[in-house]
Structure 1
């Protein structure tokens, strides 16, 4: 109802948006992302919940040639390590073996077939990686050892909260940490001018032809969302829903305050 009322194609700052705002951060990630496509290895992407990590990677993978890269996305990480490898096996078209040793061999043989036979490089994105079991972090380097550790055949992105980076710096995971080739941290949009530009871009990309918020309203939104895109989008959509029964075609500060209160 509120989309029609405000003439929007999709929720502002929502998952349906295809035009991501970028004033440098996304470009930096895209550059590092391409590095690992050209030279397979491990990338680490961290940031606060709602900062846009998954949206950024979804945007980048949409542009990939499916004949060159097979994208495997995993977000169910709060399981045992064998379950994680079984999920990878199924995504690669391999029937998961019961024993982990055989499971590893079957997966690695399949990766060899894809890379050498089809020139297809797997790209494994592990989201919510802060929930991965410690034993996965410990033995993952051994899994990545191909041909006497002379070849890198799969690109892996570990994606998670800032605590993930701190975890991987611990001594028990030194082997895995030493294999990380790229580290990127996405940060909230906290500066006033950047945040205002971000909100205006989000509204315009959703189809809004005019400004819905006063400068004071944008500042309210910035402070309440702490610069996190997901939270800012929730507040905006809640305020728009509240505006419909009142017949408003803009979002006054009082309405934003009401939306912020409802989401607390």
Structure 2
């Protein structure tokens, strides 16, 4: 069902929005709705995540890739659950067999990227680029030889990596003249990462990736199931969003999990400020005026 949004004049003015925000920011939605935890936040046990088929399929494929000492790619729109899949992957890999290193990328050059990676894994982070690469390889190889624990690098936000920095992965995963599978790497980023990996100079890196997994936003029914799951996880005993509110939430957030969380959380505060027992469609429209550009 398509949502007919009211004209912009019908939305709260900036002054009204600021007043509403000040009025709702102190509301205890847990007490008002009878919850035992705040819903729609990032603070939830990873084993209690919403098990969305595309995400679970991506997780299973990436785990299979890592278990066979290979590397892979995870591409997903911003806010669609990419980091949740990475967290779930780490959670499912036996701690006694894997040493997982998570690196969130910023726009760094080759040397600075290697320095940051060296710091995270605990090896010497001083020296020129070639020295840093050698230090990382020796550290990883010694770890495998010494205690048999398999290293896994999780490189997040890789769409921000320059091609010459991504090219380092070919060198980092090359052990004993490319005769040993020692290090697994999962490269995660937004869809524009795909165009970077298609560049001719990165063919050797792309060729080392055994699996390319993708995520997508929720469909309408999936979003309804997600909202129900997050509310149940927070202790809700009854639906807190009307059917029309669910439709509005889908239309405004496009099925994106992060946008859904932000809008739903704010709408609960707005409804609580009105002393309402459920969230209505208009509460979502007010929430959009406060939290989305």
Smaller-chain TM-score range?
Answer: over 0.9
Q: Mapping of 1:1-264 within 5 angstroms?
A: 1-18=28-45, 19-190=48-219, 192-264=220-292
| Unaligned residue ranges in structure 1 (runs of 5+) | none
2:15 corresponds to: none
Q: 1:120/1:195 Cα in 2 relative to 1: closer, same or farther (>3 Å)?
A: same
Q: 1:130/1:23 Cα in 2 relative to 1: closer, same or farther (>3 Å)?
A: closer
| TM-score for the superposition, normalised by structure 1 | 0.94
Which structure has the larger Rg? 2
SS at match of 1:259: helix
| TM-score for the superposition, normalised by structure 2 | 0.85
Q: What is the CA deviation profile of residues 22-50 of structure 1, one whole-angstrom value per residue up to 9, with x for unaligned ones?
A: 24223212211221221222211111110
Decide whether the 8 Å contact of 1:17 with 1:206 is kept in 2: no
CA apart distance, 1:182: 1.0
Measured in 2, the distance between the counterparts of 1:146 and 1:218 equals 52
Higher mean displacement: 226-235 or 10-19: 10-19
List structure 1 segments (4+ residues) > 6 angstroms apart after TM superposition: none
Decide whether the 8 Å contact of 1:44 with 1:157 is kept in 2: yes
SS at match of 2:273: coil
Decide whether the 8 Å contact of 2:66 with 2:184 is kept in 1: yes
Q: CA RMSD in A?
A: 1.6
Decide whether the 8 Å contact of 1:72 with 1:123 is kept in 2: yes
Measured in 2, the distance between the counterparts of 1:43 and 1:3 equals 41
CA apart distance, 1:207: 1.6
Q: 1:26/1:100 Cα in 2 relative to 1: closer, same or farther (>3 Å)?
A: same
